[in-house]
Structure 1
Amino acid sequence: MRLTRREILGAGGGFVALTLSSSAAWTDEIVDIVMKGRDDGSHVWFDPIGVLIKPGQTVRWTNLNSGNSHTTTAYSPENFGRPLRMPKTARPWASDYLLPNETFSVSYAEQGVYDYFCIPHEHAGMVGRVIVGEPAKNGWTQLDGANGDLPEEALKAFPTVEEIMAKGIVLPA
């Protein structure tokens, strides 16, 4: 039997819902991240902003912001000379501009921390983080790469590795 989120929350199971959403990252399901924004364009974000997945799992971004196009772009020198903020041997990705209701997916094989951004909205803090695997069991807890030349709003927006590991899914503030 699978309960809907509404049924769980209606029964006062907020804690259960949080537990289920955290464990959902360890299934074989596709993890969905939506691109959102206010109608007036004053604020844009990824939701969730941080996710924990297992190796081989896929993340799918969908633009649900009717007033903007967005990208999902890995921090890598291969993408506009941006600093490396992902495992060195992993393949970086860059979507085209996604119009409303368009999607883009990436499957992650290599364990590590992957940071990404939206090209036109990085300066506004539209960034996210995907953690693949279990750092505590594999001896890595720090982000591969350096802060480099990132806008201050972007640096402030990233959830910590520890927060993602504890929650599984981190929603935007």
Structure 2
Amino acid sequence: MAVSVLVACLLAGPAGCGLFGPAHGAPDPQADVIIDMGFHRFKPTDVTIHAGQIVEWRNISLVTHTITDDPALADFHADALLPPGVMPFDSGDVPAGEVFLFKFPAPGTYRYFCKHHERHGMLGTITVLPAP
């Protein structure tokens, strides 16, 4: 089964947020933390990392999920939280068997959700500490 990898890099301030696909022939980025997306749940739900580390979400379920941290897209505003000055992000649909990688360069608390299952409680929190 082919696994599509999406890579996103969140940049603080006016630089914005850039989405990048994998470079052809280049190795995939190494994830520092792996989160499984199962039946209406992110597992683990709460993760602590350092700035600059990469989180990989793996869709191990049979349905499509998203990794979204954008208050404008949340059914409930409190389900999305970003550090001050950080641009919102949205993975788009991540089908069954695929992964999404995201690099967190800015310290702070990120509360994210799945757009398809937010009302079912599919929420997660990433606490990003300053780089060591």
Give me the TM-score of the superposition, normalised by structure 1: 0.52
Unaligned residue ranges in structure 1 (runs of 5+): 1-27, 38-43, 135-173
Unaligned residue ranges in structure 2 (runs of 5+): 1-29
Deviations 1:47-68 (A, max 9, x none): 01000000101111110002x1
List 4+ stretches of structure 1 deviating above 2 A: 79-84
Could you tell me which residue of structure 2 aligns to residue 122 of structure 1? 118
Could you tell me which residue of structure 1 aligns to residue 45 of structure 2? 49
Question: How far apart, CA to CA, are the structure 2 residues paired with 1:113 and 1:95?
Answer: 18
The CA RMSD over aligned residues, in Å, is 2.0
Q: 1:122 to 1:107 in 2, by over 3 A?
A: same
Shift, 1:88, TM fit: 2.2
Asked if 1 retains the 8 angstrom alpha-carbon contact of 2:31 and 2:56, the reply is no
Question: How far apart, CA to CA, are the structure 2 residues paired with 1:29 and 1:59?
Answer: 6
Question: How far apart, CA to CA, are the structure 2 residues paired with 1:108 and 1:88?
Answer: 14
Shift, 1:29, TM fit: 5.0
Question: How far apart, CA to CA, are the structure 1 residues paired with 2:33 and 2:88?
Answer: 18
Higher-strand-fraction structure: 2
Question: How far apart, CA to CA, are the structure 1 residues paired with 2:74 and 2:46?
Answer: 23
Provide the secondary structure at the position in 2 that maps to 1:123.
helix
Asked if 2 retains the 8 angstrom alpha-carbon contact of 1:93 and 1:106, the reply is no
Rg larger in structure: 1
Question: How far apart, CA to CA, are the structure 1 residues paired with 2:117 and 2:97?
Answer: 18
Higher-helix-fraction structure: 1
Q: 1:80 to 1:52 in 2, by over 3 A?
A: closer
Could you tell me which residue of structure 1 aligns to residue 71 of structure 2? 76
Q: Out of 58, 61, 68, which is 1:62 matched to?
A: 58
Question: How far apart, CA to CA, are the structure 2 residues paired with 1:80 and 1:49?
Answer: 18
Could you tell me which residue of structure 2 aligns to residue 33 of structure 1? 35
Q: Which has the higher contact order (CA 8 A, sep 6+)?
A: 2
